[in-house]
Amino acid sequence: MIYRRRRSNAGLPGGFFSFQHKARHVYGSGEGDFIRLRDERGREWYGVAERMEDASVRYRFRDPDGNFISGISDGYGVILRDAKGNTWRGFID
């Protein structure tokens, strides 16, 4: 008999994502393991959300040029940091 493994995204946030740093804005939608964002220049960012042991969620996003943004959400908001040390703040709706 063949069994299928089911991947569960239980408890991972999904919906509309919006992050901003000064004049830069990244927004899009996704669900758990697959999040797709687009910035104001039309570049696409792909990412994932991972549930941590302390109930926070870690986000990692990467664009085709190798730039990345990563950070955490503690239930009140999302704070990300890019490779240059800039802080991006945002929300999930």
The Cα 68–Cα 66 span in angstroms is: 6
Place of tokens 């393991």: 33
pLDDT tens-place string over residues 31-71:
878 999 999 999 999 999 998 888 889 999 999 999 999 99
Q: 65: which residues sit within 8 A by CB, 6+ positions away?
A: 43
- Provide the 8-state DSSP code for 44: E
pLDDT tens-place string over residues 5-36:
544 555 666 789 999 999 889 999 998 789 99
